[in-house]
Structures are given as structure tokens and as C-alpha cells.
Amino acid sequence: MANLPEDLERLRLAAHSQIAAAQDPTALEQLRVALLGKKGTLTATLRGLGSLPPTERAQAGERANAVKKELEEAIAARAAALEEARRAGLAEQEWLDITFIPQDEGYGHLHPITLIMREIRAVFSHIGYTVAVGPEVEDEWHNFEALNIPAGHPARDDMDSFYVGSGALLLRTHTSPVQIRYMEQHQPPIRIIAPGRVYRRDYDATHLPQFHQVEGLCVDSDIRLSDLKGTLEYFARSIFGAERRIRLTGDHFPFTEPSVGVAVSCGICGGAGCSSCKRGWLEILGAGMVHPQVLRNGGIDPARYSGFAFGMGPDRIAMLKYNLPDIRSIVEPDVRFLRQF
């Protein structure tokens, strides 16, 4: 290895040329491994130190270490130069407009149905009502027969209801079955509301196949129609405003007797009549005194107790309160709609 110093010098000069020619960090790293790695060129050259005479070995080792250090510094300098060139290129390709004002981050909004449902619960909780729930897949007894809706009734037609399987079960068409289930397990006094989803085969500007309903039930000694009127008047004024009035008109529901339709005075014209209400009134719910047979079906003696029930659609309440022209906007995925509330 008498030519070791010459070999080191040739390696040093060639390495500097290769380092300067490296065009990217990957190529530079591969070159570093090829020169300085365990199987690198410089490492292989240094293995010849042991064959040198002792008098030459120290000088040659010192020179070899100096070459190694020089190449490490050259590689580091080239890496820094490549990084600087990369950043300079980014300045041409990627730029930041410091005058740009980004749009403010949007915030989530509660859906109008959620708002109405919460408000309804709060209104009735103030007068002692609690929330009751029941299954959305019902049997025909609780959904129909216990509510005086016998076989053959138009409401039981499969054109109007979503039956499950062989037809013994169906998606509930109203939350009234919750009343029966609650009466089966509790004796008066009873004051409940039953909010939840219901399902019917209907879809147009004022109807949805899946919508919400809040059923109310009050059963106790000596409950009268005047109690129902006072309760609903309190509800209407709490939701729509203290100046609103309600109107009860005769109606028919199989599970109440007598039955009434309930309308609230129009908030736009005050009941005088306008394009929104036509005659000054807007229908909001159906109600009535619980039919004695329905009380019996729930396990309550109608000779001792009486009660009233009412059912409303929060979707329609939302339409009236927020002046929504089309109920289908409630289920459309448009965030611009939600931002209104």
C-alpha cells in the first residue's frame, strides 16, 4: 500500500466532483453511503493502513481522517445548498397572498325541528309533564286497535302505512301508542308528552314520509274539556307569542270523544285574514277527551278517571313559526337553510 496517499488524493478529487454533481438529496445520500459507508470506497481504502510500515502508518491515518472529515463537510454543504435551492423553487411555485382575507369559519346550527322539540318539551315541563317514549316499530294492537281503529279502517291500509314483514308489525303512524303503553304501566295521575318520529306513505310540499309528532296525555280525576283548552292556549302563547289566540272546532278522531281541531290565530294579520292564513287561523293540532274505551284498553277505569289527549306535528309548528313555504326544506341537506335559525 505504498500508493495509499495517492489513492486518497484521487478519491478526494473524484468525490468532490461527484458531490458537486448531486442534483437532489436522494442522490447525495446514496453518494455518502458509497463513499463513507461500511462498504464505501474510503472505508475500503482505509483497510490498507494495517499493511503499511509503522513509520508511515500514523501519517497515512492522519491524512485519511482529514480526507474523511473534508468529504463529510462537503456533503453537508451540498445538502444545505440543495435545500436552499428547493426553497427558492417553492417561492416561484407556491406563494402566499398576505392581502387575502379568508372566509370566517362557519359554526354549526341546531336544526329547526330540534329547536322546536326542545321548546315544546320545556313548555310542558313547566306545567308538570314528563317525557315518555316507545318503540318505533309497533304491533297493530297498540298502534290501531287499542286506539279504537278496528280492522278495515282506512288508516290501516298498506297504502298509508309501512308494514314490516308479514304485516303483524309496522312503523308507527303516530306516537299515540305510547299513551297506551304508558297507561298499561301507570295509574293516574298521568301527565306526559311523547315526542318522536312517525312514518306514513306521503310526500309533498306539506307532508313527509318520516316526520315528528308530539303526543300529549293527561288523565286524572275530573279532567274536563276546559282543562284541555287552557293547556293548549298556554302552549300556543308560549310558542307563538302572548298575543296569540286559539280556536277549537269540532272534529273526529277514533280515540277521543269529543274531538276538536285546534287552530292558532295568524301572527301576520292577527286573525283578520291574509294570503298566508286565508281566513285568519292556522291549524296546529288535533285533540279531545280520551275515549272511555281507550282508557279501558290502557287498564284505567273510565268511571273513576277522565283525561284529554292531543297530537301535534313539530314539523308543522316549525313551518308556522319560521314561515317555511315547503316542509321538504326541513330534510334537504342545505346548510344555507340551517343558517337561518
Q: Beta 163-164 vs 210-220: how paired, if at all? A: unpaired
153-194 pLDDT per residue, tens = 887 777 778 888 776 899 999 999 999 999 999 999 999 999
C-alpha to C-alpha distance for 224 and 307, rounded to whole angstroms: 7
Among 276, 303, 140, which Cα is nearest to 221's? 303
Domain boundaries, the chain: 4-93, 112-338
* Helix, strand, or coil (residue 282): strand
- Could you tell me what percent of the chain has a pLDDT over 90? 38
Q: Provide the pLDDT for residue 229.
A: 94
The pLDDT value recorded for residue 276 is 62
pLDDT attached to residue 244: 82
Report the 10 Å Cβ neighbour count for 304. Answer: 11
Q: Which residue has the cell 278495515?
A: 152
* CA distances, 171 to each of 138, 159, 164, 232 (Å): 6, 13, 7, 28
Q: CA-CA distance, 1 to 45, in Å (whole number)? A: 9
| Rg (alpha carbons) of the chain, rounded to whole number | 42
Query: Collapsing DSSP states into helix, strand and coil, what is residue 124?
Result: helix
So what's the pLDDT on residue 204? Answer: 66
pTM: 0.64
CB atoms within 10 A of CB 63: 15
How far is the C-alpha of 245 from the C-alpha of 247, rounded, in Å? 7
Q: What is the pLDDT of residue 268?
A: 66
- Residues 190-234: tens digit of each pLDDT: 999 999 999 988 766 556 788 889 999 999 999 999 999 999 999
For residue 279, CA distances in Å to 102, 271, 286 come to: 49, 7, 19
- The Cα 270–Cα 142 span in angstroms is 40
Mean pLDDT by 10 residues, the chain (341 residues): 71 87 88 83 72 71 81 89 84 73 73 90 96 93 92 79 83 93 96 93 71 93 95 92 87 93 78 69 90 96 96 84 73 76 73
Strand pairing report for 190-199 and 130-131 = parallel
| Close Cβ partners of 16 (under 8 Å, ≥ 6 residues apart) | 71, 74
DSSP 128-153: T-EE----SEEEHHHHTGGGT--TT-
Assign domain 112-338 to a CATH class. Answer: alpha beta
